[in-house]
Amino acid sequence: MDVIGLTGGIAAGKSTVARRLAQHGAVVIDADELARTAVAPGSPGLAAVRARFGEAVIAPDGSLDRAALGHIVFADGTARCDLNAIVHPEVARLYRERLAEIESAQPDAVVVYDVPLLVEARSADEFALVVVVHAPADVRVERLVALRGVDRASAQRRIDAQATDDERLAVADVVIDTSGTIESTEQQTDALWQQLVARRSGHTAVSDPSS
């Protein structure tokens, strides 16, 4: 079973690439989904977040108020590290469980781990291949403002809180350039999938579809 690490900065377009790979038959594990499970109501993770950050980050229904928590951690590096120390170990555990389930049910699957914080919280050596979804920081700021309604200063803080473009590109085996159209992104993803299939057949190595 091959496990592909898929990463990229906020608003880079990872979801578009992951969705396209899933359409081709990849099994996608979404780290953001695991992170939500890690702090679901009633979980030890949410209890730890409440203990560290207080009732201000808990919604009236008892769930995590992500917007309130985001305002804190994107403005405070220490708070962000504290949150990561709570969430990352639980996400890693859930990831291992999900991977074991897939391996048991589909031992020949191509697994894509969609993990925004691969550089910050994982090791590139864990994966058969690391795919970096890349758009320049200024493009991603504009997307956050236009598509998600984030004010420009907050958008910049969120980008600055993550690894730099250079740090992500340094671990990339493949780069998908998402600064153009969605069609271009999908074409690059299609080319990557074709090469993954060929690679599994022993016919070729994977090259960079953005080049």
Q: Above 80 in pLDDT, residue 92?
A: yes
Give me the CATH number covering residue 139: 3.40.50.300
203 band by pLDDT with thresholds 50, 70 and 90:
low
Q: For 20-24, 126-130, 196-200, which range has the lowest pLDDT when averaged over its residues?
A: 196-200
Q: Are 160 and 85 part of one and the same domain?
A: no
Distance CA 102, CA 6 (A): 17
In a domain, 175, yes or no: yes
Q: How far does Cα 72 stand from its chain's mean position?
A: 21
Q: Do 9 and 76 reside in the same domain of the chain?
A: no
Residue 89's domain comprises: 38-107
Is residue 40 over pLDDT 70?
yes
Domain boundary among 63, 89, 107: 107
Residue indicated by tokens 């890690």: 38
Gap between the Cα atoms of 61 and 79, Å rounded: 24
Q: Could you tell me if 90 and 115 lie in one domain?
A: no
Read off the pLDDT of each residue in 150-167 and give the average, rounded to a whole number.
92
Do 96 and 143 fall within a single domain? no
Q: Are residues 19 and 45 in the same domain?
A: no
pLDDT at 1: 84
DSSP 53-113: H-GGGB-TTSSB-HHHHHHHHTT-HHHHHHHHHHHHHHHHHHHHHHHHHHHHH-TT-EEEE
pLDDT grade for 109, boundaries at 50, 70 and 90: very high
Q: For residue 120, what pLDDT is reported?
A: 86
DSSP 8-state secondary structure symbol assigned to residue 26: P
Last residue of a domain, one of 63, 80, 107: 107
Does position 44 have pLDDT exceeding 70, yes or no? yes
| Separation CA 56–CA 79 (nearest Å) | 14
At residue 2, the pLDDT reads 85
pLDDT interval class at 20 (50, 70, 90) = very high
43 and 10 in a single domain? The answer is: no
- Check whether 207 has a pLDDT greater than 70: no
Count Cβ atoms within 10 A of the Cβ of residue 38 and give its class: 0-12 exposed, 13-18 middle, 19 or more buried.
Answer: buried
Query: Does the residue 32 lie in any domain?
Result: no
Provide the pLDDT for residue 204: 57
Do 88 and 164 share a domain, yes or no? no
Same domain, 150 and 96: no
Question: What is the average pLDDT across 21-29?
Answer: 97
**What does the mean pLDDT of the chain come to?**
93
Tally of domains in the chain: 2
Q: Which amino acid is at 61?
A: D
- So what's the pLDDT on residue 171? 95
Cβ atoms of 108 and 26 closer than 8 Å: no
Average pLDDT over residues 122-135: 92
What per-residue confidence (pLDDT) applies to 209? 64
Residue 211 has pLDDT above 90, yes or no: no
